[in-house]
Amino acid sequence: AKASGRNTHLIFSPAMIETSRRKLNIANNINDGIKENEFSLRYQPKVNSLSEVVGYEALARWDNKKLGNVSPAEFIPVAEQSGKISAITYWLVHQVIQDMQQILDINRKIKVSLNLSAHDLKDTSLVTLVGKLLEKHNINPMNLQFEITESAYLENFELANQFISRIKEMGCSIALDDFGTGYSSLSYLTKIDIDTLKVDKQFIDNICVSERNAIITNIIVDMANALNLEVCVEGVETLEQSDLLAGFGCHTLQGYYFGKPEPLNSVLTALQK
Ligand code: C2E
Ligand code: CA
Ligand code: CA
Ligand code: CA
């Protein structure tokens, strides 16, 4: 019984200590970072089958004095775990809707999307705020889309459904992000009211080398079309992928092949051409 002895104590390696110190550092600097204007946005284009830009996804960036450039792949999970995501989302919503005014002044048809986290879906005052901001900036809610991951959705199905129906009543649309990556089953697609399926990059990465990936992607696209959902594929990096996906009947494509995330000014310049 005593066999495990001292080894039952948790042992932290220097690398683990360094990782948790960095996470703590990130979490502790988020609020100041927002106040000090260290956060910014990049906009990545989405194109239709004619390669015309039809939308942009807003992606957050953070350049901190001490921490340097922190990728959202790192700070978003930390913000989610430490209860700081709300502060980022409120900043995000203000910034995106403000930027949208300039984008829509050039092209009324552009749809802009932003990413929400699981916690945001429990926050009804967020919906109220979005409504007020859209009104203040005189923006048609149809131009705004929210990207919600499968996992965020499934974390609290009931509340997520309520949140989504309020967003949709307002006239905004919903994309189910990272589709196909979670442990979810297809059955919930009959229970939720989304407009767009975003097929995760993981599938797209291998469609030209793996016939299985190509077949699965093709079937997801067919299913979405049959359900009257829009499909957006993310992570398109080559012409070959783009051609194959267009052949599958994808409505909307996104990825480095069409454009990387760019600051608002570059977006406005590109749209004016
Ligand atoms: P996501 O929503 O799946 O966003 C797509 C990510 O893939 C972005 O990384 C984008 O820059 C990258 N990407 C797009 N096209 C390509 C491509 O062709 N090739 C490759 N290799 N990568 C591509 P990013 O900007 O680093 O964002 C990472 C994740 O962080 C996002 O994944 C999203 O989950 C989260 N995120 C970013 N901004 C926000 C935000 O404002 N709020 C929330 N809640 N999450 C955010
Ligand atoms: Ca997204
Ligand atoms: Ca995604
Ligand atoms: Ca993804």
Q: Is 97 helix (H, G, I), strand (E, B) or coil?
A: helix
Our answer on whether the CB atom of 157 is closer than 6 Å to any ligand 1 atom is no
Our answer on whether the CB atom of 38 is closer than 6 Å to any ligand 1 atom is no
| For ligand 1, atom 11: residue with the closest CA | 261
Look at residue 206 in the predicted model and tell me its pLDDT. 92
| For ligand 1, atom 41: residue with the closest CA | 60
Single pTM value for the model: 0.94
Reported as type and span, the H/E element at residue 61 is: strand 53-64
pLDDT tens digits, residue range 218-258? 999 999 999 999 999 999 999 999 999 999 999 899 999 99
| For ligand 1, atom 45: residue with the closest CA | 115
- Whole-Å CA distances, 90 to 6, 76, 167: 47, 14, 16
- Whole-Å CA distances, 226 to 54, 223, 249: 22, 5, 11
pLDDT tens digits, residue range 169-204? 999 999 999 998 877 678 788 888 999 999 999 999
- For the CA of 147, the closest atom of ligand 1 is 2
pLDDT tens digits, residue range 29-85? 999 999 999 999 999 999 999 999 999 999 999 999 999 999 999 999 999 999 999
